[in-house]
Amino acid sequence: MTKCRNRELMDFLKNKKFINGGLHVLYSICDSAKNALNSLGGAQMKHVGTVLGSAIAGIFVMSVWGAFAGAYGIGGGWVAGLVIIGTMWHLNHYVGVHNNEGSWVDMALGIGVCGMARGMFENGIQAGVDSLPTLGIVIVGGIAGGIMAVQMEKVSAERQAEADKAA
Amino acid sequence: MTLPLAISTFAGAFIFPFLIRLLWGKFVEDWGPIGGWMAAGMIVGTTWCLNHGVGMMHQTGAAWIDMAFAAAAGLFAASCLGGDCLKKGTVDATFAIIGGILGGFILSTLA
């Protein structure tokens, strides 16, 4: 139990047994929470960071962005991209709240899942099932884009290597 | 989802991770963290206008399929091709998905 500096306040409160008991409960809850978080340690805390960073990014993207677009049209949508993704990128990937130790998991995954999940929480599982054709094509198209980007990187690297050899 | 719509959806999905993979790193390399802001506006903002503003990405159901899925899939695939560890990536992906579901649940409380 933390020391209370204000002796007079504590004496006053101790006279009311109910409040005293409540304070005890509150202190022990806070202590347990503090101990639990400390004991999680670095190994798990980084994964909590991923969950938080993804959730926060998803929340902003799937609510504020649409509001911008609704209020200011397509230009509002562009500005929303700048403001929201700029900030969320800084949080998740620049500062590094989103853990990335292996293959790159972009905050975009959490954002996409957030949008789809919200639809399913609001409208039921069928809403998600109905959206599967779009999801399937989007994922296949995305993978194709990623693979081609790597091929372009290889072309660039070869070009660079030849330039270095010629130099 | 007719074939023409599938083609435009595929194209929109292709373009997003293609641009991110090739440009974002360069922006940050050239301009530091400001490059992140530039990338967010130029790449994500403009591609949003294409996929969701103009509507290249056709939605088939009530649950919103964001172009973010394209970025996630494409960047993950590119990273694996580039040699990064798939197993650790899967662990991170799992927690990202949990975060997404949490965010989706919180937003659904607004409805």
Reported ipTM: the value is 0.95
Is the same domain home to A31 and A74? yes
pLDDT above 90 for A22? no
Looking at the domain assignment, is residue A121 inside a domain? yes
Average of per-residue pLDDT across B6-29: 97
Is the same domain home to A126 and A137? no
Distance (Å) from the alpha carbon of A87 to chain B's nearest alpha carbon: 8
Q: State the pLDDT at residue A4.
A: 56
Question: What average pLDDT does the structure give for chain A?
Answer: 90
Q: Is B105 on the interface with A (CB under 8 A)?
A: yes
Q: Is B55 on the interface with A (CB under 8 A)?
A: no
Is the same domain home to A63 and A105? yes
Higher pLDDT, A31 or A138: A138
The pTM for the full model equals 0.86
Any idea how long chain A is? 167
pLDDT above 90 for A16? no
pLDDT above 80 for A142? yes
| CA-derived radius of gyration, chain B | 16
Q: State the pLDDT at residue A58.
A: 98
Is the same domain home to A11 and A58? yes
In this prediction, residue A28 has a pLDDT band, given cuts at 50, 70 and 90, of: confident
Is the same domain home to A122 and A88? yes
CA dist A107 and A51 (Å) reads 10
Token digits for A34? 């503090």
Q: State the pLDDT at residue A3.
A: 62
In this prediction, residue B97 has a pLDDT band, given cuts at 50, 70 and 90, of: very high
Is the same domain home to A87 and A104? yes
Is the same domain home to A139 and A103? no
A152 → chain B, closest CA residue: B22
Distance of CA A49 to the CA centre of its chain: 7
Higher pLDDT, A20 or A132: A132
Q: State the pLDDT at residue A118.
A: 97
Is the same domain home to A86 and A99? yes
Using CB atoms within 10 A of its CB, is residue A86 exposed (0-12), middle (13-18) or buried (19+)?
A: buried
Is the same domain home to A97 and A166? no
Looking at the domain assignment, is residue A1 inside a domain? no
Domain that holds residue A121: 7-130
Report residue B40: phi and psi, to 5°: -60, -45
In this prediction, residue A42 has a pLDDT band, given cuts at 50, 70 and 90, of: low
pLDDT above 80 for A89? yes
In this prediction, residue A37 has a pLDDT band, given cuts at 50, 70 and 90, of: confident
Residue A126: its chain B contacts at CB < 8 A? 61
pLDDT above 70 for A13? no
Looking at the domain assignment, is residue A41 inside a domain? yes
Average of per-residue pLDDT across B84-94: 89
Q: Specify the range with the lowest mean pLDDT, choosing from A32-41, A92-101, B33-42.
A: A32-41
Average of per-residue pLDDT across B94-99: 96
Is the same domain home to A73 and A111? yes
In this prediction, residue A92 has a pLDDT band, given cuts at 50, 70 and 90, of: very high
Residue A85: its chain B contacts at CB < 8 A? 40, 44-45
Token digits for A144? 């194709």
Interface of B with A in 2-21 (CB under 8 A): 6, 9-18, 20-21
Q: State the pLDDT at residue A73.
A: 96
Looking at the domain assignment, is residue A144 inside a domain? yes
Is the same domain home to A125 and A105? yes
Domain borders along chain B are 3-108
CB neighbour list of residue B77: distance below 8 Å, 6 or more residues apart:
A142, A143, A146, A147
pLDDT above 80 for A109? yes
Residue A53: its chain B contacts at CB < 8 A? 99
User: With an 8 Å Cβ cutoff, are A137 and B9 in contact?
Assistant: yes
**Angle (deg, nearest 10), helices A132-166 and B3-19:** 40
Is the same domain home to A125 and A136? no
Looking at the domain assignment, is residue A94 inside a domain? yes
Helices (H) and strands (E) in chain A, counts: 7, 0
Interface of A with B in 16-75 (CB under 8 A): 47, 50-59, 61-63, 65, 69, 74
In this prediction, residue A35 has a pLDDT band, given cuts at 50, 70 and 90, of: confident
The pLDDT tens digits for B24-75 are: 999 999 999 999 999 999 999 999 999 999 999 999 999 999 999 999 999 9
Looking at the domain assignment, is residue A149 inside a domain? yes
